[in-house]
Amino acid sequence: MTALRRAGRSPRLPSPLLTAAAALVAAACALPLAYLLVRAASGGSAAWSVLARPQTAETVARTVALVTAVTLGATTVGGTLAWLVERTDLPLRRMWAVAAALPLAIPSYVAALALLATLGPGGALSRAVPGAGAVDITGFPGAGLALILSTYPYVYLLTAAALRRADPALEEAARGLGRSVRAVLFRVTLPLARPALGAGALLAALYALSDFGVVSLMRFDALTRVIFQQYRTLFDRTPAAVLGLVLVVLTVIVLVLEARARGRAASRAASTASRPAPPQALGRWRPVAVAFCAVVVGLALVLPLGVLGFWTLRGAAGAGLSAEVVTPAVNSLAVSLGAGAVATVAALPVALLVVRDPRALTRGLERLAYAANALPGVVIALALVFFAARYAGAVYGTLAVLMFAYLVRFLPQALSGARTALLAVSPQLEEVARALGRGPRSAFAAVTLPLAAPGLLAGAAIVFLSTMKELPATLLLRPIGFDTLATEVWTATSVSAYSRAAPAALLLVAVAAPIVLHLTARPDRHSRRGAEGLGAG
Amino acid sequence: MTRSAPLALLALVLAGAGCGGAGGGGEDDARRLTLYSGRSEELVGPLYDRFERATGIQVEARYGDSGELAATIGEEGTGSPAEAFFSQDAGALGAVAAGGRLEPLPPELLRRVDARFRDPEGRWMGVSGRARVVAYDTRKLRPAELPDTIFAFTDPRWRGRMGLAPTNASFQAFVSAMRLAVGDERTRAWLEGIARNRPVLLENNIQTLEAIARGEIEVGFVNHYYMYELRQERPDLPVDNHFTRPGDPGSLVNVSGIGLLEDSPEARRFAEFLLDVEGQRYFATDTDEYPLIPGVRPDEALRPLAEIQGPDVRLGQLGAKLPSTVELIREAGLTP
């Protein structure tokens, strides 16, 4: 078997072609980076004095603190929810499974607005409860909470999927050997879920690094907010570019840390679950678990929907509702579907290369793809403005450039999905197909692709959702007159017309919700089809 | 199939999207104007509709923050599709002009507005005026309790009661004007005094008014017309405008303005329309701003422009001051 694998490795996947495809994708992602270097270099030594300011160090420290808190918070919340839903006798498991994932349909700036409307200065709480006037969630607590509520679903979905796929036999064996619930959780379940937890934590960290809407609403001077303000006020793009490079360095550090933590977990799981795991009894912890789920879902889902509903009703009672959200809704759907497809297709060669041929070079390619993604949308957008208007005038101002921006921004999400999916497929299955006479492409298409399909689809769905909610790049790069739901919400909130913004935001959530529901659906059907494909070979 | 298909598909999708997006470019019958609009669709969209009806020229407006659009024009270089730039403030126009991108405006058009409100070299001109005001909470303060100069707000009795938006272009323009009016040292002392009073730092004018409305602060330094805008959403808004005395930097009159990147007939027609009676009336009645041409009167509820006066500065001078003003605000500790 070992001999077969070794012999099979390179001829099965002719590396040059695959590497070329992956390099092309990575090069596309490197454009914003190239832009930052061009800008920073054009400014001379004065631009670099930005780095020597004490305020810059403070800004970096604040950003690191926020990203750390959000990553830990999102991983803890998302991981706990996944375990409760997939492995315990939590009451109403199916309901929680859906409710815990649904906040993915809510843009993070809407989550932040809802928190401010209730827990902000002069919010509903301080008005309703005398003595609570000092309640003020702005700054670090508000930014951290809003970002945790917006990013934990990534961790939850990836981890829950991993737990569903994992063979329960291992945990049963551990229990059979007399291990406690706790020991099984920490010694068996957690290691099984580690790649998924890591991938989710990485997404949460990157999201927190690149988010602009939440930190600006919460008035927290993270790096993105400072960069954005530099762009907006100084017109001299050089200091902002230097700070953008600082952000890239932070991203690379996150990636290196994640790779270290991932460690040897990168070895592929040899099996796919054939049956669901029997639930563990929570016993006296059941009320605590239910309360935990209720608080998370309440803050992340019920609160934003409630606030949006309130604003919509207030608007309906006042000026009446506008029906002009149909075209933006169709536009949002179209570009989001396109972005999901493009990003997934582009992620496949990179993920294949990383999973099957993990050399330093391929790792570098993968990291490049990630590093570009942490840049705030406005930097990516300006980079594409720079290159497209100067060197590709024919496509500038068309949807092509916008799709390209989505690809650069959200490739890592597709990549995470693809990598996790491919890791879970044992290469031995494909080897068997090869041994039975299939060609390399045919074996991949008949065996690996169907088995990885649920993971790839999940990645595509996450890209779809992110695109629905994306704002800065859409604003700068959309064709003139091309409105999406997100830009409609922005246009209305920028003049504080919340009651006009709320219907578009609700529609945005309504369009995104079915995709989230699809993500929580059990992928049994796909696994079977994968097995059938193998049988046919 | 495995390796080439993704790339082929990618190319196909991008090509398809490209065709779809570029499809509109073929029709040459209609006259068009590509406009970068730093003013929001909510406020000026109806005005562009009127322009289309009056002239038959179709406006393709790209909406965005004025500063972002100025940065976009800079990055687009000569490939920029923009023909005209309608900016929220003079600073962004000054930056585009400094990049050598604005065509000179016709002298007969420039003459319609006071020299205070346009570029001395004639590359951009004001379209509508807005005054800086001290917005205050009508539940907690009476007009008589408010000082008649902006310099009084460094007094410790205002500690923790103020709000301002230090990164907002109109705040920066106001600080630049203060430097021109009273010199750098007094301005620096004022900024440091304000910083010592621990103001709540906000993103923009609207947020500042909302902070007053929800009781977080009692006074805020903003442009005058946001109050009217918010009242449309909330008629019971407990906020009113207070003007400092004539000549005080606290009541600077600033403008939104127009600059042309291409000297096309459509672009010139658009600039003329904004500065015609119909365009100017729109700003007087629909956005509660000050019209800038003689003969069109502002809304009666507004204090007349002649009474406000503001500091004696030319807006064309503010652009060059901007970088050092931003630095001054940062050194005072109001921005990171």
Q: What 3 state SS string does A384-406 have?
A: HHHHHHHHCCCCCCCHHHHHHHH
pLDDT for the residue numbered B212:
95
User: Is B10 a residue whose pLDDT tops 60?
Assistant: no
Which range, A155-159, A262-266, B138-142, has the best average confidence (pLDDT)? Answer: B138-142
Closest chain B C-alpha to A449 CA, distance in angstroms: 9
- For tokens 């830990």, the residue is A72
pLDDT for the residue numbered A321: 53
CA angle B332, B333, B334 (to 5 degrees): 100
For chain B, domains (ranges, CATH) are 28-129+254-302 (3.40.190.10), 130-252+320-331 (3.40.190.10)
B108 min Cα distance to partner chain A (Å): 30
pLDDT of residue A10: 40
- pLDDT on residue A235: 62
- How much is the pLDDT for A526? 40
- Asked if residue B105 has pLDDT above 50, the reply is yes
pLDDT tens-place string over residues A167-180: 788 888 888 888 88
Measure the CA–CA gap between B164 and B211, rounded to whole angstroms: 10
Residue A224 scores a pLDDT above 80: yes
Q: Decide which of A391 and A499 is more confident.
A: A391
* pLDDT for the residue numbered A404: 92
pLDDT at residue A11 tops 50:
no
Q: Which of B1, B40, B201 sits opposite A445 (nearest CB)?
A: B1
Kindly tell me if the per-residue pLDDT of A436 is higher than 50: yes
**Which residue in chain A has the smallest CA separation from B229?**
A495
* Residues 6+ positions from B157 with CB-CB distance below 8 Å: none
Chain A residue with minimum CA distance to B43: A495
* Four-point Cα dihedral A341, A343, A345, A349, nearest 10: -170
Bigger pLDDT: B71 or A275? B71
Mean pLDDT to the nearest integer, B260-277:
96
| Residues in chain B within 8 Å Cβ distance of A445 | 1-2
Tally Cβ neighbours within 10 Å of residue B328: 21
Phi, psi angle pair for B29, to nearest 5°: -65, -50
Helix (H, G, I), strand (E, B) or coil at A53: coil
Number of cross-chain residue pairs from A and B with Cβ atoms under 8 Å apart: 171
Asked if A495 lies within 8 A of B3 by C-beta distance, the reply is no
Q: State the Cα angle at B135 between B131 and B141, rounded to 5°.
A: 145
- pLDDT band at B249; cut points 50, 70, 90: very high
Residues with Cβ within 8 Å of A360's Cβ and at least 6 positions away in sequence, in order, are none
| pLDDT tens by residue, A364-423 | 777 777 776 667 777 788 788 888 988 888 888 899 999 999 998 888 888 877 887 888
Given this model, what pLDDT does residue A379 score?
A: 78
What angle is formed at CA A153 by the lines to CA A313 and CA A143, rounded to 5 degrees?
70
Res. B14: pLDDT tops 70: no
Helices (H), B99-204: 107-110, 169-182, 184-196
Nearest to A356 by CA among A274, A452, A292: A452
CA distance A259 to chain B (A): 26
pLDDT bin (cut points 50, 70, 90) of residue A302 is very high
Looking at residue A524, its pLDDT comes to 45
What is the band of A289 on the pLDDT scale with cuts at 50, 70, 90? very high
State which residue of chain A sits closest to B69, comparing Cα positions. Answer: A476
CA distance A374 to A208: 9
Q: What's the burial of B114, exposed, middle or buried (CB within 10 Å: 0-12/13-18/19+)?
A: middle
Structural domains of chain A sorted by starting position, each given as residue range(s) with its CATH number in brackets? 67-222+274-320 (1.10.3720.10)
Secondary element (H or E) of residue B62: strand B57-63
What residues are paired with B255 via a beta bridge?
Answer: B129
pLDDT mean across residues, chain B: 87
Residue B254 has a pLDDT of 92
Q: Among residues A275, A297, A267, which one has the least CA distance to residue A424?
A: A267
- Higher pLDDT, residue A288 or A194: A288
Highest mean pLDDT among A117-131, A197-211, A225-239, A289-303: A289-303
Q: Considering just the CA atoms, what is the radius of gyration of chain B in Å?
A: 22
Interface touch B71/A235, C-beta < 8 Å: yes
Please tell me the predicted confidence (pLDDT) of residue A31: 87
pTM of the predicted model over 0.95: no
Average pLDDT over residues B306-327: 85
A427 or A64, higher pLDDT? A64
Output the pLDDT for position B200. 93
Q: Between the ranges A256-270, A498-512, B221-235, where is the mean pLDDT highest? A: B221-235
Statement: residue A267 has pLDDT above 70: no
The half-sphere exposure of A286 on its side-chain side, counting CA atoms within 13 A, is 12
The closest alpha carbon to A227, from A207, A208, A212, belongs to A212
Residue B103: pLDDT band (50, 70, 90) is very high
